[in-house]
């Protein structure tokens, strides 16, 4: 096989919410494969600048823009500016998202709407702004960051699960509508990863740590870098006939019902 199919040199990749965590890990993978990175966030210019410095420290060409993916006017203005200042967007990774751990009967409608608007509607807004240019230029790649909650439920994350389940189906519908334009749309569904956010519960004896290790056939938390290969594959020419799929990078969790208590 010609490994140049995985080369992203010269491609412009816009990754939303890539100032930290799994978004940053996937963005670094794209950058290491040659892509020119454009990252976004909306919390602060300082956080975006710090992230851009981290990418550039690894010799990755990177630029940062501040906007909220739920603000259609701001998104359209940002996309116009990015394409004028950096170049046409070849790869869009819809990673920006939030989660609110609130039982459904205790959740306010405003809290529900904030999650749905960010995790689902924001993907629609971003894609609607970027994909017409891809179609005009003859193709592109869209990667939506789904979740195991696209398939499973869990206590207190009903809004998030509803959004991510909807995102799985939005991914399939985008793929259906845009395949004839040579735009491939796929998803990545991360499992449980060792990040700064999970560090407090990744200690020996913590009930959730024990649960994840025992629930995951691989017997461990994922390393954020484990997402990079899938991201590069779905962003590259190697996946030109792959569309409408969600690739779960979860150490095997979704492949099994689990194991009985006490089984090693």
Catalytic residues: 160
3-class DSSP state of 17: coil
The residues, ordered by sequence, that sit 6+ positions from 258 with a Cβ below 8 Å of its Cβ are 214, 215
Order of strands, sheet of 91-94, starting from the edge strand that comes earlier in the sequence: 62-66, 36-41, 12-16, 91-94, 140-145, 183-190, 246-249
SS (H, E, C) 71-114: CHHHHHHHHHHHHHHCCCCCEEEECCCCCCCCCHHHCCHHHHHH
The backbone torsions φ and ψ at residue 263, rounded to the nearest 5 degrees and listed phi first, read -80, 135
**Strand pairing class (183-190; 140-145):** parallel
């Amino acid at each position: 096989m010609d490994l140049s199919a995985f080369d992203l040199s010269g491609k412009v990749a816009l990754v939303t919410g890539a100032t930290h965590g799994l978004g940053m890990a996937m963005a670094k993978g794209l950058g290491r494969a040659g892509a020119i990175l454009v990252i976004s966030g909306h919390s602060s210019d300082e956080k975006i600048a710090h992230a851009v410095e981290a990418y550039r420290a690894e010799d990755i060409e990177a630029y940062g823009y501040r906007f909220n993916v739920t603000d259609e006017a701001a998104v359209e203005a940002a996309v116009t500016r990015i394409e004028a200042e950096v170049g046409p967007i070849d790869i869009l990774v819809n990673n920006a998202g939030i989660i609110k751990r609130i039982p459904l009967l205790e959740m306010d409608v405003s809290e529900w709407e904030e999650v749905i608007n960010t995790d689902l509607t924001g993907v629609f807004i971003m894609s609607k702004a970027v994909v017409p240019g891809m179609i005009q230029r003859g193709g592109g790649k869209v990667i939506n960051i789904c979740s195991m909650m696209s398939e499973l439920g869990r206590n207190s994350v009903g809004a998030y699960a509803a959004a991510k389940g909807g995102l799985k189906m939005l991914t399939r519908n985008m793929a259906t509508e845009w395949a004839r334009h040579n735009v491939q749309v796929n998803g990545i569904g991360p499992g449980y990863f060792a990040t700064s956010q999970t560090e407090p519960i990744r200690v020996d004896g913590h009930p959730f740590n024990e649960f994840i290790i025992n629930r995951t056939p691989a017997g461990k938390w994922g390393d954020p870098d484990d997402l990079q290969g899938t991201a590069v594959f779905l962003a590259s020419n190697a996946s030109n006939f792959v569309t409408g799929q969600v690739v779960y990078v979860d150490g095997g969790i979704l492949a099994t019902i689990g194991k009985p208590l006490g089984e090693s």
